Structure 1
């Protein structure tokens, strides 16, 4: 049986995606989670702390996907593997992908005094480090590592956004092949 806190987080994700932060209430989340309205407060102080935890859990999950790419031998292998892990996250953790990359309400982040800023920048720093490694080993042209990482992340995110918004539709396998070809085309332009 799922942990109550996980059930609450999942319910909060669903409601957030349907109604946004402003349309989410603790009562709705409790109802969707199958617990009493008062029971939810045993786990979360208020709506802001629940939303904050949804975001933190999403960032933690995304980071765990990316970390597995560090076991590869070269910078280029790690970069390619990281792109595959991004694909896995976007397709296996659809709710978190959509919340973190497409619908995140940054006004709420401000309300929690920037506590999410570090979590929110982990993936960007991770990709900058992978690109920098590639440039140092000579597998990518020397360039501004941060700008190249942003190009890669933006392109990948745009790709997934097309599928989430239903502007593109393919089977999972077809989508994966297109994603790999797109990422390969980007790399060809960046290779030395």
Structure 2
């Protein structure tokens, strides 16, 4: 039973790495694994539930992959994260589009390790500010990284480390 769920999750992650996640049909996914749609529904309520659970897994993997350290200098750590995410958008565009742009995340910090870590870094870089100020800073940083990453993914621009660094420092008022 658990192996089937893991197989579905892992296959979905493989597919997401190779193509736009919105193009994945449930029927094609289940057929490729050799299970029925009924077997799928024993583990997931629907495709959105599958994407939500995949998002949680990928959030954990991204945190580990980026070697995110919430105890490090928060400005340096946020810059490192921004740079690495932009490079991942360049090198793994479909995977990053799913991680950063799919709607299943909905900024749910409790289940998404990556978002929680970013928020903790923002609180450390902005310790005297109130929660509303930190939320605004998070949205500004997140919007820049997502937007710039999407431009890189779509070939509109190439990654520019100086641009990322200057923008991050302006947002952090450094």
Task: Tell me, yes or no, if structure 1 residue 29 matches structure 2 residue 18.
Answer: no
The question of whether the paired residues in 1 share the 8 Å contact of 2:89 and 2:153 is answered with no
Correspondence for 1:157 among 140, 146, 156? 146
Query: How many pairs were matched up?
Result: 162
Q: Give the match for residue 140 of structure 1.
A: none
Instruction: Note the C-alpha offset of 1:93.
Output: 4.5
The question of whether the paired residues in 2 share the 8 Å contact of 1:89 and 1:97 is answered with yes
CA–CA separation in structure 1 for the residues paired with 2:69 and 2:127: 18
Q: Give the match for residue 79 of structure 1.
A: 78
Question: How is 1:34-183 mapped onto 2 (pairs within 5 angstroms)?
Answer: 34-38=32-36, 41=39, 44-45=43-44, 47-48=46-47, 49-70=49-70, 72=72, 74-91=73-90, 93-102=92-101, 104-105=102-103, 117-118=108-109, 122-136=113-127, 144-168=133-157, 170=158, 175=159, 178=160, 180-183=161-164
Instruction: Note the C-alpha offset of 1:9.
Output: 1.9
Task: Tell me, yes or no, if structure 1 residue 19 matches structure 2 residue 43.
Answer: no
Instruction: Note the C-alpha offset of 1:38.
Output: 3.2
The TM-score, its normalising length taken from structure 1, stands at 0.61
The question of whether the paired residues in 1 share the 8 Å contact of 2:90 and 2:153 is answered with no
Provide the secondary structure at the position in 2 that maps to 1:68: coil
Tell me, which stretches of 5 or more residues in structure 1 are unaligned?
A: 138-142
CA–CA separation in structure 2 for the residues paired with 1:67 and 1:47: 32
Instruction: Note the C-alpha offset of 1:28.
Output: 0.3
**CA gap 1:30/1:164 in 2 versus in 1, 3 angstroms:** same
Q: Give the match for residue 13 of structure 2.
A: 10
CA–CA separation in structure 2 for the residues paired with 1:61 and 1:93: 14
CA–CA separation in structure 2 for the residues paired with 1:53 and 1:99: 12
